[in-house]
Amino acid sequence: MGPLGISGEIGEAAATALRLLASADPELLGIVALSLQVSLAATALAALLALPLGALLALARFPGRGALVLLVNAGMGLPPVVVGLLVYLLLSRSGPLGEYGLLFTPTAMVIAQTILVTPIVAALSRQAVTDLLEDYREHLASLGLRPLAAVPVLLVDARFRLATACLAGFGRAAAEVGAILIVGGNIRGHTRTMTTAIALETSKGALAQALALGFVLLLVVLSVNLAAAGLQRVARRLEG
Amino acid sequence: MIGRLAAADGAEPAPLLPLEVEGLVVEAGGARLLDGLAFTLRPQRCTVILGPNGAGKSLLLRVLHGLVPPARGTLRWSEPDPTLRRLAQAFLFQKPVLLRRSVRGDLAVALSARGVPRRQRRARIEEALALVGLDGFAGRAARSLSGGEQQRLALARAWALRPQLLLADEPTASLDPAATRAVEAILRDLRARGVTVVMSTHDLGQARRLADEVLFLHAGRLLECAPADRFFARPVSAEARAFLAGELPG
């Protein structure tokens, strides 16, 4: 396909994307809603685990801390298909958690994405708290606050970088396809998300449809980031 | 909160000073950074630590505040309890460390860490900001203030903690002359309110304006410990004479 062909495809896809959105196609809206639901839930769960973990890794000194930091940093590069496969093995009928019947449900997708997002948020928040502590260390010591007692102060003061860490995690979740394809199964109306739908349309050769979904996905991610930026502006204004 | 110091509510604190220092040695990486210091710190004065760069001025202040442990020597404080000693001190850094919060929020964290009850904090904050001429700044972001305003805020925070001893490390080193005068006026004010001030400076004019006593450090050794008038009129050591003549790097 020549350059003209590509731009033709892109133009057609953009038009299709707008048409799909304008028509408020219920199937598309369902796919968008499920994608958002799964990725936001996974990001929220990951944040609950990773923010305290990141603070702990920045502040506490214990044997094996260096190895754990290395592990968490390396975890940012976890291949989604591998995570999907491991969660699949855990949740499949013969697996240790098979009795709960979670395979091919949105819950399974949330579990897989939480595993993918947690190391990203933990590693970035550890670095954010470490940098802040460098700046605050003597002042906190002068006030008589030991580092662990200062966790609330540090988490509040690192809030903007922590928010960015969560956004990076959300970006990872919203963009990945390997894990949720394996544990969700891409079942129409049940576990089909934007990325799995894009993979399906591409494999069917419906490239315009796939690209259109791609545009919608980009729009959704952009909207979430815009909303977060707006919230940060409001927060900065409120703090004076 | 774990590690928070409990402040005796309304009780008259025991005196922190005098402090008798004997044979104080601080080492790092095989080098002796403070070498056998001995002096007495008496209350209700302004003691200025003078000396060229690298003499150990900042380090001595940090040792006094408990931020750096000495390798050898004794610091005999009038107050034996280290927790209560910390409560009776405040530290002013050359570059103020301000939190990423509002002016009010920054002061509130300090008061909370020192165990000042919530109901007393607002009044303390307002009074401290008024003392340094920052009334009306409570809602501003602390880090958006100018350099001089930031150091005044750090002074307000120090005063809000009601210290007996204020340790100040080159508090005006990065300020313009007007901001320097403002900080000096506040230091004199705190001194008049009974706060003992120990500060380092490389500004001889400032030392003449503020000092009751001078500690002159050179290469980690205490060469002079004298009333300011005597030190400036008749320095004993050759190093101090050279320093006063501007022949040693400030």
Residue A99: pLDDT over 80: yes
Residue A205: pLDDT over 80: yes
Which chain B residue's Cα is nearest to A159? B100
Chain B touched by A99 (CB under 8 Å)? no
Structural tokens at position A183: 């544990």
The H or E element containing residue B167 is strand B165-169
Which chain A residue's Cα is nearest to B6? A144
Residue B9: pLDDT over 60: no
Comparing A4 with B125, which gets the higher pLDDT?
B125
Q: Say which of B4, B91, B101 has its CB closest to residue A157.
A: B101
Distance from the Cα of A239 to chain B's closest Cα (Å) equals: 6
- In this structure, the number of other CB atoms found within 10 A of the CB of residue A106 comes to 18
| ipTM field | 0.89
Tell me which chain A residues have a C-beta less than 8 angstroms from the C-beta of B67: 138, 141-142
Instruction: Give pLDDT, residue B250.
Output: 58
Among A165, A159, A164, smallest CA distance to A132 is for: A159
> Which of the four pLDDT bands, split at 50, 70 and 90, describes residue A235?
confident
Q: List pLDDT tens digits, range B166-197.
A: 999 999 998 999 999 999 999 999 999 999 99
What does each C-alpha distance from B64 to A201, B75, B85, B86 come to in angstroms? 71, 8, 10, 10
Query: Residue A138 and residue B91: Cβ atoms within 8 Å?
Result: yes
Tell me which chain B residues have a C-beta less than 8 angstroms from the C-beta of A138: 62, 67, 91, 93, 97
String of DSSP letters for chain A: --HHHHHHHHHHHHHHHHHHHHHT-HHHHHHHHHHHHHHHHHHHHHHHHHHHHHHHHHH---TTHHHHHHHHHHHTT--HHHHHHHHHHHHSTTSTTGGG--TTSHHHHHHHHHHHHHHHHHHHHHHHHHHHHHHHHHHHHHHT--GGGGHHHHHHHTHHHHHHHHHHHHHHHHH--HHHHHHH---TTTT--HHHHHHHHHHHT-HHHHHHHHHHHHHHHHHHHHHHHHHHHHHHHHT-
pTM over 0.95? The answer is no
> Which of the four pLDDT bands, split at 50, 70 and 90, describes residue A5?
low
Q: Say which of B83, B93, B102 has its CB closest to residue A239.
A: B102
CB environment A68-77: b (16+ within 10 A), e (fewer): bbeebbebbe
Q: List pLDDT tens digits, range A169-194.
A: 999 999 999 999 999 999 999 999 99
Q: Say which of B3, B90, B141 has its CB closest to residue A240.
A: B141
